[in-house]
């Protein structure tokens, strides 16, 4: 016979071959039966929490947490912290199934952080720890990247430390400038068409171009850089957040960007607020203090027979930037544009 105690109750577990055991808590509530095995039968919880907003009952262990869904709001009062001197927090409804399970390192799920990538996983690649968007008086002017790379040295006793360094790239930088700052891209993509030619006032807009703009794709940085086909200078940056449920999910490493937004409010001249990878579009509109113009719907289907299983996204133009927003209000990507050339007009509806 093995005895395990919980706060405010005592439960005895009998282990006999061929005999199904059944145990009860005070009040006759069934705790464990042969057909409903609970996690508490094998582990002692360190903390139990009831989230009334989500109707979830969290059972926490060291490095492991389970979340149970309550069947109805009528059961909620039994799990409040002050009910029955706190003993009712141990009463998980009979037959309740686990809705979520978290496996993590440490004592608290809220304090858990992703571990640092080991040097053995770099494999010669460079990763971005953070990307700051630089601004001038009119809008974004470039990027400042804090980069991580594995140290290198001659012979077998190579430097095994992580190198941290900063690089900056700006609109108007040449292709050679970018290569010297960031190194060779993982891929180069040539645009086959320009969707915005239909808005051009030129009568030659239907004439095919002899050369196409091209992207430098830096997948481990989460950044794309577009170069003009004629001048070979930077004209656009695209920052990817790599959220699940997006068309490009798991192609790019998440870009941890910070974008200063100019806020125009009364008695707040020159004030800026920061938009990050984890900001939601609703919060950004609240910071701006006014709604943004209606979005352009982006389907990402190249032909009528090609469907996008992830659904459409919405593109909002703001301060020489285009925010691609998913249906759950998360930002999927941010496209930064340089200052317009003399005589040219920047179209806020232009898509990457």
Among 91-95, 117-121, 183-187, 200-204, the least confident range: 200-204
Give yes or no for a contact between 229 and 212, defined as CB atoms under 8 angstroms apart: yes
* pLDDT value of residue 54: 75
Whether 50 shows a pLDDT value over 60: the answer reads yes
Burial (0-12, 13-18, 19+ Cβ within 10 Å), 239: buried
Residue boundaries of the structural domains of the chain: 2-103, 119-337
Higher-scoring residue by pLDDT: 74, 146: 146
* pLDDT value of residue 17: 42
Q: Which are the contacts of 306, defined by CB distance < 8 A and separation ≥ 6?
A: none
Whether 2 shows a pLDDT value over 50: the answer reads no
What's the pLDDT tens digit per position in 234-246? 999 999 999 999 9
Distance, CA of 77 to CA of 293 (rounded, Å): 45
Averaged pLDDT, 296-307: 71
Cα first-last separation, the chain: 68
* pLDDT value of residue 1: 43
Averaged pLDDT, 113-127: 86
Q: What is the band of 78 on the pLDDT scale with cuts at 50, 70, 90?
A: low
* pLDDT value of residue 138: 82
Distance, CA of 17 to CA of 36 (rounded, Å): 18
Q: Which long-range contacts (CB under 8 A, 24 or more apart) does 320-326 make?
A: 320/138, 320/139, 320/140, 320/346, 321/139, 321/140, 321/259, 322/348, 322/350, 322/351, 322/352, 323/281, 323/284, 324/298, 324/352, 325/281, 325/295, 326/243, 326/245, 326/246
Sign of CA dihedral 60, 62, 63, 64: negative
* pLDDT value of residue 69: 78
* pLDDT value of residue 10: 39
* pLDDT value of residue 192: 80
Among 35-44, 306-315, 322-331, the least confident range: 35-44
Q: What is the band of 40 on the pLDDT scale with cuts at 50, 70, 90?
A: low
Give yes or no for a contact between 292 and 278, defined as CB atoms under 8 angstroms apart: no
Q: What is the pTM of this model?
A: 0.69
Q: DSSP letters of 309-334? A: TT--EEEEEETTEEEEE-TTSBEEEE
From the list 70, 48, 344, 352, the residue with the least C-alpha distance to 191 is 352
Distance, CA of 332 to CA of 313 (rounded, Å): 8
* pLDDT value of residue 92: 59
Give yes or no for a contact between 226 and 212, defined as CB atoms under 8 angstroms apart: no
Higher-scoring residue by pLDDT: 66, 30: 66
Distance, CA of 240 to CA of 255 (rounded, Å): 6
Kindly report the number of other CB atoms within 10 A of residue 206's CB atom: 9
Highest mean pLDDT among 14-18, 118-122, 154-158, 171-175 belongs to 171-175
Averaged pLDDT, 151-158: 55
Distance, CA of 317 to CA of 294 (rounded, Å): 9
Averaged pLDDT, 169-193: 94
Averaged pLDDT, 157-161: 60
From the list 125, 329, 135, 142, the residue with the least C-alpha distance to 241 is 329
Q: Return mean pLDDT, the chain.
A: 76
The count of C-alpha atoms lying within 13 angstroms of the C-alpha of 282, restricted to the half-sphere facing its C-beta, is 4
């Amino acid at each position: 016979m093995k005895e395990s105690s919980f706060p405010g109750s005592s439960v005895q577990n009998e282990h006999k071959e061929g005999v199904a055991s059944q145990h009860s808590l005070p009040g006759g509530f069934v705790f464990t039966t042969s057909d409903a095995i609970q996690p508490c039968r094998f582990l002692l919880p360190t903390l139990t929490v009831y989230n009334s907003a989500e109707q979830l009952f969290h059972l926490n262990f060291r490095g492991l947490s389970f979340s149970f869904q309550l069947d109805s709001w009528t059961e909620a009062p039994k799990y409040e912290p002050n009910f029955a001197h706190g003993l009712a927090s141990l009463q998980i409804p009979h037959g309740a199934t686990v809705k979520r399970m978290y496996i993590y390192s440490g004592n608290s799920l809220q304090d858990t952080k992703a571990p640092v990538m080991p040097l053995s996983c770099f494999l010669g690649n460079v990763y971005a720890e953070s990307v700051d968007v630089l601004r001038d008086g009119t809008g974004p002017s470039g990027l400042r990247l804090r980069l991580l790379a594995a140290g290198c040295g001659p012979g077998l006793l190579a430097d095994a430390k992580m190198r941290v360094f900063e690089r900056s790239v700006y609109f108007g930088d040449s292709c050679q400038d970018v290569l010297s700052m960031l190194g060779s891209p993982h891929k180069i993509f040539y645009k086959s068409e320009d969707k915005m030619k239909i808005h051009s006032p030129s009568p030659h807009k239907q004439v095919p171009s002899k050369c196409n703009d091209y992207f430098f794709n830096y997948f481990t940085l989460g950044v794309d850089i577009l170069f003009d086909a004629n001048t070979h200078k930077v004209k656009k940056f695209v920052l990817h957040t790599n959220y699940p449920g997006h068309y490009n999910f798991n192609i790019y490493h998440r870009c941890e960007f910070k974008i200063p937004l100019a806020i125009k409010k009364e008695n707040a001249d020159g004030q800026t607020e920061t938009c990050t990878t984890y900001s939601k579009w609703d919060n950004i509109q609240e910071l701006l203090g006014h709604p943004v113009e209606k979005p352009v719907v982006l389907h990402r289907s190249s032909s009528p027979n090609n469907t996008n299983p992830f659904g459409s996204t919405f593109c909002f133009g703001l301060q020489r930037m285009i925010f691609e927003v998913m249906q759950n209000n998360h930002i999927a990507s941010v496209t930064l544009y340089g200052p317009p050339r003399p005589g040219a007009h920047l179209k806020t509806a232009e898509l990457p």
